[in-house]
Structure 1
Amino acid sequence: MTAVVLALPAPIDTLTGGYAYARKVLEALPEHGVSAQALQLPESFPRPSEAELGEAYRRLKAVPRDMALIADGLVFGALPLPMLKALGRPVIALVHHPLGLEHGLSTEEAQSLLASERAALAMAQHVIVPSRTTALTIQSLFGLSASAITIAPPGIEPVPRAPRPLEPNEPLKILSVGSIIPRKGFDILVDALALIADRAWESSIIGATDLDPNSVAALRKQIAARGLESRIALPGAIQPDRLAQIYLQADMFVLPSRYEGYGMVFAEAMAHGLPVIGAAAGALPEVVPSSAGLLVPKDDPYVLAGAILRLIDDPGFRRRLADGAWDHAQKLPRWKETAGIIANVLKRSQR
């Protein structure tokens, strides 16, 4: 049986999209004749200290040579070229989106990360990405050939359909899911909601609050300044079973990310039959069809407010998008298919 180790810079149960992808793939790989396990590296990646790099090297070097090795992009793109060479073994990279495209980086830091990732990817045995957009981005930024990249889009689980029937005069529930970091655009969402504060709505922003404390503090301050503390909830990250119930209680999904390498939460929202609104950035135009939602220019709270308002004020349009989201989601891959694509990469790599 083929065996693989997936190296990650945090515990496998971390509540972000990238780790959800890792968990689901590792769970499904045995169905394709691949035994799989996670290997945790220091959590400081992609900005490890010298000591943490040394510890990462020790753990990676200890992986048996008869096991395939996949390194998450947060790790792989930050490994220095001499270290990759010293490993003396092939490594497959799993890249959700380029490190240097994270929003909020200084120009110097972005260029440093892009240079590091360019050098590392040149050493990769193969590269796995979640979307055609990310594949094309990597080819353009780093000069990789199409044959060096495999697209393994995230899967979805069969889930019950939302939205729930609304009671008369009940406020619409607007759901957003994503770690509170600058790239997710929650500052734009709050400004947009402030513009339509006269309408009946409630909003929940669900996601990790420990990745960027400064962003969380700024968002709380912004919400308070707009007088929306009673209408916008920030409950933090929530376990998947509880989050699934929250999807069923929502009326629409809104996330104005400035960049997404795929956008798993949009697929999850559509799988629940929710109409979605996002920004036309990164892979979102690839993931969200016009029959399922509205995509607006990024960083424009006025246009975003107009899109939300349209769904609030036009129940018929909202229902049509909900139907389109549900129909589209039925055509999306399941996790078994995603794992099958990756299993084929692993089996080819060991020939």
Structure 2
Amino acid sequence: MLVLPGDLLTATGGYEYDRRMLEGLRQLRWNSTVVALDSSFPTPTAQALEDAQRQLSALPADSLVVIDGLALGAMPEVVHAHKDRLRMVGLIHHPLAAETGLSPELVSRLHESERRALQAMRLVVVTSQRTGRALADFDVASDRIAVVEPGVDQPRHADERVCDPDAPVRMLCVATVTARKGHELLVDALTDLTEMDWTLTCVGSVERSPATVRALKMRIEASGLEDRVTLMGELDEAALQRQFRAADLFVLATHYEGYGMVVAQALAHGLPIISTRTGAIEELVRPEAGVLVEPGDWTALRDALSRVLADADLRRQLAAGARAAGAKLSSWSAASERMSEILASVAGALR
């Protein structure tokens, strides 16, 4: 049983992880179903909390229930009411309080809410070692944490990329347009590099944070980059894969990630990476595969972009490193098997 808010088909890394785990567990003969909560989480309405209580109350005693952190951290009273009746496992992609742009008061409130909710879990699954270490601040003992990193789909055709020094460098960013993903920072850095020949395609929802999207579009227009920066919105999987194949360089100026699934996907496609040292990205992207800077460091990001954009030989070297790193990444089937083992330890004979 997987409990999560909103639509399972939502195009974010967290929801993709949930979808792929459900598919994998079903292939491993788990009877995996979904309980959909109201989409107002992680800031639920009173009615949404009442509905969550009703849905958990309807589950048979001793049911194995995996609760996505997007809902879990916002309903400590609900889960504590079922602490002894259900076998609950938390699934944390990253702490709610780590979202960018929150007021100090909201950060404090979310931190305490998630800390209390996590105490009701029999086990907590995290998607990276970094997130697991972060949960020490939430009073979760290390022996109650299990790591199941995402898998990656290896492209069917991972041919060596040819970098034409006379053609524009085609940069790709795949991320929902929210403050945390750093699109404005990326555009600011590129504003200083207009003498170089490049284009940037941004793939990801423009519906989640209208204020961020408005500010980003204004920044693009003010910088005169309308002909170079394209906001494509969400794409289906086939169209997204075409974008990966067409790109020369992957960029993600994110302020915080739990793991960084799109970075792993870019590595599998043999794309050089320019990103930030956050989540598992620092472990995924070694120096031979890309250039990482500190989150929020505009100057370092601009300098990294300038260096890589100007040097076709460096891009070729980084592409080779990316291909080698991507080829070593685990599959989704291996990730699902790991999740199955962990859940079996909680479920016991219930499976």
TM range (shorter): over 0.9
Q: Return the offset for 1:60.
A: 2.4
Instruction: Show the counterpart of 1:192.
Output: 189
Provide the C-alpha distance between the structure 1 equivalents of 2:189 and 2:159, rounded to a whole number of angstroms. Answer: 24
Number of aligned residues = 346
Q: Distance in 2 between matches of 1:83 and 1:168?
A: 57
- 2:256 pairs, out of 256, 259, 264, with 259
Give the equivalent residue in structure 2 for 1:134: 131
- Aligned position for 1:95: 92
| CA RMSD of superposed structures (Å) | 1.5
Q: TM-score, normalised by structure 2?
A: 0.95
Assess if the C-alpha contact under 8 Å between 1:182 and 1:215 holds in 2: yes
1:23-172 superposed matches below 5 A:
23-65=19-61, 67-81=63-77, 83-86=79-82, 88-139=85-136, 141-159=137-155, 160-161=157-158, 164-167=161-164, 169-172=166-169
Structure 1 residue 164: deviation in Å? 4.4
Query: Shift in Å at residue 166 of structure 1?
Result: 4.6
Q: Does 1:15 align with 2:44?
A: no
Aligned residue in 1 for 2:315: 318
The separation in 2 between residues aligned to 1:194 and 1:163, in whole angstroms, is: 30
Q: Tell me if the contact between 1:162 and 1:248 (Cα under 8 Å) persists in the aligned partners.
A: no
CA contact (8 A) 1:163 1:274 kept: no
Letter in 1 for 2:37: L
Range that drifts further, 63-72 or 269-278: 63-72
Identity %: 36
Which stretch of the first structure deviates more once superposed, 187-196 or 61-70? 61-70
Question: TM-score, normalized by length of structure 1?
Answer: 0.95
Q: Where does structure 2 lack aligned partners over 5 or more consecutive residues?
A: none
Select which of 332, 335, 338 maps to 1:341: 338
Amino acid corresponding to residue 38 of structure 1 in structure 2: V
**Match for 1:45: what amino acid?**
F
Q: Does 1:236 align with 2:233?
A: yes
Does 1:203 pair with 2:213? no
CA contact (8 A) 1:180 1:186 kept: yes
CA distance in 1, matches of 2:78, 2:8: 27
Aligned to 2:212: 215
The 1-side partners of 2:147 and 2:258 are apart by 11
CA deviation digits over 1:47-68, x for unaligned, max 9? 0011111112222222344642
Alpha carbons of structure 1 residues 162 and 111: separation in structure 2 relative to 1, 3 Å:
farther
Runs of at least 4 residues of structure 1 off by over 6 A?
none
Structure 1, unpaired ranges of 5+: none
Aligned pair 1:174/2:171, yes or no?
yes
Q: Which amino acid aligns with 2:48?
A: E
